[in-house]
Amino acid sequence: MDRILVLSVFVVASCGLAYELIAGALTSYLLGDSVLQFSSIIGCYLFAMGVGSHLSKYVKEERTLAAFVEIELLVGLIGGLSATVLFLVFAWASAPFRSVMYALVFCIGVLVGMEIPLVMRVMNARQAEFKELVSRVLTFDYLGALAVSLLFPLVLAPKLGMARTGLLFGVLNAAVAMWTCWAFRRDIPQLAGKLGRAGLVLLALLTAFAFSDKLTTLAEKGLFGDDVIHAETTRYQRMVVTRWHDDLRLYLNGNLQFSSRDEHRYHEALVHPVLASLPWAKRVLVLGGGDGLALREILRYPNIEHVTLVDLDPAMTTLFSTAPMLTALNKGSLKDKRATVVNADAAQWLEGNAETFDAIIIDFPDPTNFALGKLYSVPMYRLVQRHLAEHGLAVVQSTSPYFAPKSYWCIDATLREVGFNTWPYHAYVPSFGEWGFILFSKTPNYQPPEHYALPMRFLDADSTRLMFQFPADMRRVQVEPNRLNSQSLVHYFEEDWHNVLR
């Protein structure tokens, strides 16, 4: 009999550690900062176990076995489903994720904390000698922990993934409950009810196990379609990099920023109409573009002596200057000797800096909210004006003239309001659709390049000519410039995309 109990201690201990490891790994995987995540989860878990051990004394002597069985079932259910639940919560909204995660860890901790004291009391009631009892229970407790600490990173996590590993241990907990029920069937009141419940829990866990692929797909891939190879919530945004075969994609706050399949189209169109026309240019400023892809194109020009790249998010520029797959894509541009990376809010940096640049490349996120809308406003372009050389050229990514015509022409109107001459153009980028840019300068004499000295994958004389022509379905519409008082651009952008997505 005692052998059964000791074996169950082994299983119980391994399950307990497994839930803790799963929560820690999952959270650092989803939120980053693994040292913090692991420390806080282990702390919360151990504290909760302490609370559980304390609570165990309120279990009446005659109910210890029954309580042990009930607790096993609960741990199995909650612990087993924890990873799946966390995935789902995270997919829906990242805000309550931490609260749900700590609540789950605490619950599991309390329940696991009650297990060992209860087992010891059961054995104690069976007149086992105390020194024998303590030594055997704790030996198997620690052995179980050792087994899982090795199995988890080497076998379970890579082979089964988080969700199914959790479910597997849930099944083990439920199995211990059933086994105990059976082994002590004479000592347990209301046996049938307990066995029935154990059956239900096992059924629930096994069903979840069978469908867990579907569930995680729903949670993880359902968001982005592909495998997530990096996900991080920074102070400023949620950054996710996905991969499907050779296609790398970056999403910021759920919006696609580039796909490695066709980003060359976007970045060639963004950079070369400006720089191919400025053979004398030496100094370039990039606002936004922390992925280093526009920078890669700029650095192809030997005449460029220095590029300053101002991007808000240090996590972004760090990732794109260190992760091998991403530096392969941007050719290590962020680490180039000619490039200086500044992490600052673009307007703040422009306000506090007096340099002028021969070319300015502006690659901000779309104006989806009032804060981002300010980056496309009259005062913002006035700031840009102060930093642009008299005969320099600048370009701004300007949403889609096809899907968001009011937004696109609003940016054009805003630049004209400041006094710039503008040359709107567009290019087809398969993952975005027809995309728009606006080239602008203080002087009125710009001619789109008729040939490119550097080899291009997308641009040539013909495609460039077409870029600067607007067919009837993308003609200029009459709109107000984006003034800070009304922020018309944010309203136009909402209207435009509402019409597309309706």
Binding site for another protein (CB under 8 A): 51, 54, 235-236, 312, 345-348, 364-365, 369-372, 374-375, 377-380, 383, 483-487, 490
Helix axes 64-92, 2-31, angle to 10 degrees: 20
**CA within 13 Å, CB half, 354:** 0
Written as one letter, the residue type at 129 is: E
> What's the distance, CA 425 to chain centroid?
32
Q: For residue 380, give the H/E element and its range.
A: helix 378-387
- Write down how long the chain is: 502
- Could you give the angle at which helices 34-55 and 2-31 cross, rounded to 10 degrees? 150
CB of 368 to another protein, least distance (A): 11
The answer on whether 460 is annotated among ligand-binding residues is no
Q: Which of 381, 402 has the CB closer to another protein? A: 381
Contact 387, 462 (CB under 8 A): no
Q: Which of 30, 7, 15, 26 is nearest to 167 (CA)?
A: 15
Q: Is 345 annotated as a binding residue?
A: yes
> Which residue, 211 or 370, has its beta carbon nearer to another protein?
370
- Stated as kind and residue range, the H or E segment containing 244 is strand 238-244
- Taking the least distance from each CB to another protein, the nearer of 25 and 312 is 312
Instruction: In angstroms, give the least distance from the CB of 347 to another protein.
Output: 4
Query: What's the min distance (Å) between Cβ of 55 and another protein?
Result: 10
Q: Does the annotation place 291 within a ligand binding site?
A: yes
Closest CA to 257 of 459, 493, 432: 432
Is there a contact between 263 and 352 (Cβ–Cβ < 8 Å)?
no
Q: How far is the CB of 414 from another protein (least distance, A)?
A: 11
Catalytic residues: 363
Shortest Cβ 375–another protein spacing (Å): 6
**d(Cα 321, Cα 309) in Å, to the nearest integer?**
13
Sorted by sequence, the CB contacts under 8 Å of residue 475 that are 6+ apart come out as none
Name which of 247 and 417 has its Cβ closer to another protein: 417
Structure tokens of 48? 């909760």
Tokens of 2: 């005692």
Nearer to another protein, 18 or 346 (CB): 346
> Cβ of residue 411: shortest distance to another protein, in angstroms?
16
Spell out the SS3 assignment of 41-60: HHHHHHHHHHHHHHHHHHCC
Kindly tell me which of 447 and 485 has the beta carbon lying closer to another protein: 485
Binding residues: 237, 267, 291, 311, 345-346
Binding residues for S-methyl-5'-thioadenosine: 237, 311, 345-346
Binding residues for spermidine: 267, 291
